[in-house]
C-alpha cells in the first residue's frame, strides 16, 4: 500500500515537472488548463460586462464549476481581461440573476474561455444544478 502511494505521488510529481518544463520551453501553443470538474455542453444566454467594451451578449457553449466557453458574436476580448458574467436561472416562476467575476483564459473561435473567480454559494449551487440537469 505504501509503495503504491509513493509511486502515485512520484508519478504526479514527474508529470507536473514535465508540464512545467514543456511550458517553459514553449513546446505547446496553448496554456495547460487544469480542470477539477468536467465541462458539459450547455447553451445559456449570458451577458459579459467588460468596461472597455461595455455589455456584450453571449451564449455559452460549455460550462463547468470553474469556467465556461462563451461565444461573443464577434466581440474581441483580450486574454487575461477581467470581466463579469451574468446569467439568469429560473426555478418555477422565480428568476434569479447571478453575477460572477471571471477572467479570460483564451480567446479564439469567436469566443472566450473564462475561468470563474470567487464563486459564492448561490452561484456555485446554480452552476451545480445546471450541470446536474444537463
pLDDT tens digits for range 1-16:
444 444 444 444 444 4
Query: Does pLDDT of 19 surpass 90?
Result: no
Say whether pLDDT at 104 is over 90. Answer: yes
In the predicted structure, residue 98 carries a pLDDT above the cut 70 = yes
Looking at residues 112-129, what average pLDDT do you find?
86
- 8: left (phi > 0), else alpha (psi -120 to 50), else beta? alpha
Q: pTM of the entire structure?
A: 0.70
Mean pLDDT of the chain: 78
Distance of CA 41 to the CA centre of its chain: 13
The Cα 52–Cα 113 span in angstroms is 18
- Rounded Cα gap, residues 74 and 56, in angstroms: 10
**CATH superfamily of domain region 34-133:** predicted glycosyltransferase like domains (2.40.10.220)
User: Per mean pLDDT, which range of 94-98, 100-104, 126-130 is the poorest?
Assistant: 126-130
77-72-65 Cα angle (round to 5): 90
78 has a pLDDT exceeding 70: yes
Residue 41: pLDDT over 90: yes
Across the range 8-27, mean pLDDT stands at: 42
Q: What is the pLDDT of residue 131?
A: 83
- For the chain, domain boundaries: 1-32, 34-133
Q: Which of 26-30, 67-71, 81-85 has the lowest mean pLDDT?
A: 26-30
Question: Which residue is associated with the grid cell 444544478?
Answer: 129
The answer to whether residue 27 scores a pLDDT higher than 90 is: no
Name the residue among 128, 130, 107, 103 with its Cα closest to residue 116: 103
Amino acid at each position: 500500500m505504501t509503495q503504491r502511494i509513493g509511486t502515485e505521488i512520484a508519478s504526479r510529481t514527474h508529470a507536473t515537472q514535465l508540464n512545467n518544463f514543456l511550458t517553459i520551453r514553449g513546446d505547446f501553443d496553448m496554456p495547460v488548463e487544469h480542470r477539477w470538474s468536467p465541462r458539459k455542453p450547455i447553451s445559456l444566454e449570458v451577458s459579459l460586462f467588460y468596461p472597455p467594451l461595455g455589455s456584450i451578449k453571449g451564449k455559452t457553449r460549455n460550462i463547468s464549476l470553474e469556467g465556461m466557453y462563451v461565444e461573443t458574436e464577434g466581440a474581441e476580448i483580450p486574454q487575461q481581461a477581467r470581466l463579469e458574467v451574468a446569467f439568469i436561472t429560473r426555478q418555477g416562476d422565480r428568476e434569479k440573476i447571478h453575477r460572477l467575476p471571471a477572467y479570460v483564459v483564451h480567446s479564439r473561435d469567436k469566443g472566450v474561455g473564462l475561468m470563474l473567480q470567487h464563486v459564492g454559494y448561490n452561484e456555485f449551487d446554480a452552476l451545480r444544478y445546471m450541470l446536474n440537469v444537463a
